[in-house]
Amino acid sequence: MIITRQKKISEILDTIKTKNNVFLVGCTLCATVCKTGGEKELKNLAEFLKKEGKRVTGWVILDPACNLLQVKKLKRDRAKEIEASDIILSLACGGGTQAIAEIFDNKKVSPANDTLFQGEITELTLKKARFEEKCSLCGECLLDETAGMCPVSLCPKGLMNGPCGGVKNKKCEVSDELDCAWVLIYERLKKRNELEQIKKIRGPRDYSRLKKPQKLELK
């Protein structure tokens, strides 16, 4: 899941300070779970903007915002409201915001969220949510060798072999609050009777596999 966090309200206001008519777009998937782009957040932001003297021309929650086909449908279905807007404020992730900007290429489209990482949901209630980064989308997955834990994401140095000399009492030298990723990997490998994996010397990542922008076509 793509993890987003709403920008500070002062930043959002700064983005729209010269714009009066604002259309809001949310997303049914990740941004809804992150409580950054669901119905409640759109309604709250719309109310706030109205109090700030802005006119909210309309809002929609796309299913999802990163689907260009959904954004094209929005353009067809809500043409009048969007035409009457000076700006579209996206409460989706960076991918969703770019999809909106691509289809509405004659309109200012701005993000109301910062997109942080790809993560796992570790807690989710009506009041509280917690997410943790687990994968950095490296394009060359080695979870098979590391007992299903990702050193690229869990070790602050992204070390392919570890632990490094900074480990102390199983904690990482970068932060006392952080368990050393390679100690965790070691312990789970031991549990699985796969300790031979820790002896393997892994070479550097093949970053040529990460040429951007990436594309994938399924047939």
Binding mask 147-166 for ligand SF4 (x = CB under 6 A): ---x-xx-xxx-x--xxx-x
76 Cβ contact list (under 8 Å, min separation 6): none
Contact call for residue 136 and ligand SF4 (CB under 6 A): yes
Among 142, 145, 197, 202, binds ligand SF4 (CB under 6 A): 142
Q: Where are the alpha helices (DSSP H) in 58-180?
A: 68-77, 79-83, 94-103, 151-154
Tally: H helices and E strands in the chain: 9, 9
In DSSP terms, 108 is beta-bridged to 87
Contact call for residue 13 and ligand SF4 (CB under 6 A): no
Contact call for residue 182 and ligand SF4 (CB under 6 A): yes
Min dist CB 64 to ligand SF4, Å, is 21
Pick 68 or 143: Cβ nearer ligand SF4: 143
Min dist CB 49 to ligand SF4, Å, is 38
Angle at 88 between CA 82 and CA 91, to 5 degrees: 130
**Among candidates 134, 149, 140, 136, which has minimal Cα distance to 197?**
149
Pick 114 or 145: Cβ nearer ligand SF4: 145
Looking at residue 86, the DSSP 8-state letter turns out to be: S
Residues that bind ligand SF4 (CB under 6 A): 135-138, 141-143, 150, 152-153, 155-157, 159, 162-164, 166-167, 172-174, 180-182
